[in-house]
Copies of this chain bind each other. A is one copy, B any other.
Amino acid sequence: MTELTERQKTLLILIIRDYIESAQPVGSKRLAEHYNIGLSSATIRNEMGALTEMGYLRQPHTSAGRVPTEEGYRYFVSQMMNQAELPASIQATISHQFYQARPGVEHWMTLAASVLANQSQGVSVVTAPHTEKAKYKHVELISTQGRQVLMVLVMAGGEVSQQILTLAERVSQERLSQTASRLNSLLAGLAVDAIAALPSRADTLDQDILTIITQDMRRTSESVSGEIYTDGLTNVLSEPEFAESDDARRALKLFEERSTLQDLLARTTINSNVGGLQVLIGGEGEWEELRQCSIVLARYGVPGMATGMLGVLGPMRMSYARTIPTVRFVARLLSDLVSDNIVGE
């Protein structure tokens, strides 16, 4: 593939920018009139021809304007990557929202999803911070009614899971507290494998709870990500891509079914670092449902301790200029929150 001349570069970017705004094929004449480049439509035509030849542009029909190809978008995005910081005023607004939000992972996730969706006008997705090797931190047993007991299990990464147990017989709160306290000193800091390897306990209650804890920790360790939060589903509904084609609607379905979404996140980010930013354009041949969509993804958190994902889905002609810096900024922000608040000792 030959190099682009300087003029072709600026032209290409101009075309894509115009198309992102208007959603309409852009022609040489229109281009020459609206932006005052010192070039006639004929010259532009020639350059457009060249860009089409090289695979950056495409004509929906003979003699309609040009539309960017996936390759074109990819070039466009690669230009975005370097520059593109979020304006300081917006940064401040977002930080402020986090600052005055109710503290707690759950609220931060919701807020992050909401901010991403609003800023980018796309569909956002955020996964809660998650550790691959869950370490035990603390358990609490609270008697609720009869044989029912509420168990709250806290992992070292900050993950919390609660569930309701039904014991074989009624047990006093006092005895529950003793069991919890024994387990807490016994298991502190242990990973799930170490716990499973422990000899069984003499006390039946202790042993029962221990089994359940092991199950729960295993479940947490096995899942590839923390809980998934999304927002902004309705943002894209008015976009022409979604109003018409069924393809795009299926992409939304993908986002509603958590299991497939997890799969997607796992497979695309397996080799992406915290701080890095990844843009999937048109499903990259892998995801049939995403043929008309793009996704901007980033990983956040503290590598080795607790990390999560966040991203934005939109039509392929989404506003990368808004989305990319926002995703990057929110990822940094969440990383800070994680390292400040969640990392256990």
Is A104 in contact with B234, judged by CB distance below 8 angstroms? no
Nearest chain-B residue to A244 (Cβ)? Answer: B243
Binds B, one of A25-33, A161-169, A271-279, A319-327: A161-169
Q: Of B137, B140, B150, which one neighbours A158 at CB under 8 angstroms?
A: B150
Is A145 in contact with B104, judged by CB distance below 8 angstroms? no
Is B238 in contact with A256, judged by CB distance below 8 angstroms? no
A45 at the interface (CB under 8 A from B): no
A211 at the interface (CB under 8 A from B): no
Alpha-carbon separation in the docked complex, A148 to B103 (Å)? 11
Alpha-carbon separation in the docked complex, A325 to B31 (Å)? 59
A142-B138 in contact given A233-B256, A234-B252, A249-B238 (Cβ < 8 Å): yes
Alpha-carbon separation in the docked complex, A249 to B236 (Å)? 11
Is A158 in contact with B144, judged by CB distance below 8 angstroms? yes
Is A345 in contact with B145, judged by CB distance below 8 angstroms? yes
Nearest chain-B residue to A237 (Cβ)? Answer: B249
Residues of B within 8 A of A342 (CB): 144-145
Q: Of B103, B163, B341, which one neighbours A102 at CB under 8 angstroms?
A: B163
Residues of B within 8 A of A232 (CB): 256
Provide the A144-172 mask, 1 if CB < 8 A to any CB of B, else 0.
Answer: 11001010101000101011111000000
Closest Cβ of chain B to A180, distance in Å, is: 10
A137-B148 in contact given A256-B231, A256-B233 (Cβ < 8 Å): no
Q: Of B105, B144, B163, B340, which one neighbours A344 at CB under 8 angstroms?
A: B144
Q: Which of A104, A166, A234, A340 has the most CB of B within 10 A?
A: A234
A203 at the interface (CB under 8 A from B): no
Closest Cβ of chain B to A125, distance in Å, is: 14
Closest Cβ of chain B to A235, distance in Å, is: 9
Is B160 in contact with A162, judged by CB distance below 8 angstroms? yes
Alpha-carbon separation in the docked complex, A342 to B166 (Å)? 12
A246 at the interface (CB under 8 A from B): yes
Residues of B within 8 A of A162 (CB): 104, 106, 160
Within 8 A of B (CB), among A287-345: 340-345
Closest Cβ of chain B to A100, distance in Å, is: 14
Alpha-carbon separation in the docked complex, A237 to B158 (Å)? 38
A164-B233 in contact given A138-B142, A238-B246 (Cβ < 8 Å): no
Q: Which of A158, A238, A249, A256 has the most CB of B within 10 A?
A: A256
Q: Of B163, B233, B343, which one neighbours A145 at CB under 8 angstroms?
A: B343
Inter-chain pairs besides A138-B142, A234-B252, A237-B252, 4 sampled, C-beta below 8 Å: A106-B162, A152-B152, A231-B256, A234-B253
**Chain A residues engaging chain B, CB cutoff 8 angstroms:** 102-106, 137-138, 140, 142, 144-145, 148, 150, 152, 154, 158, 160, 162-166, 231-234, 237-238, 243, 246, 249, 252-253, 256, 340-345
* 8 CB-based A-B contacts, threshold 8 Å: A102-B163, A104-B162, A104-B164, A137-B142, A144-B341, A152-B154, A232-B256, A233-B256
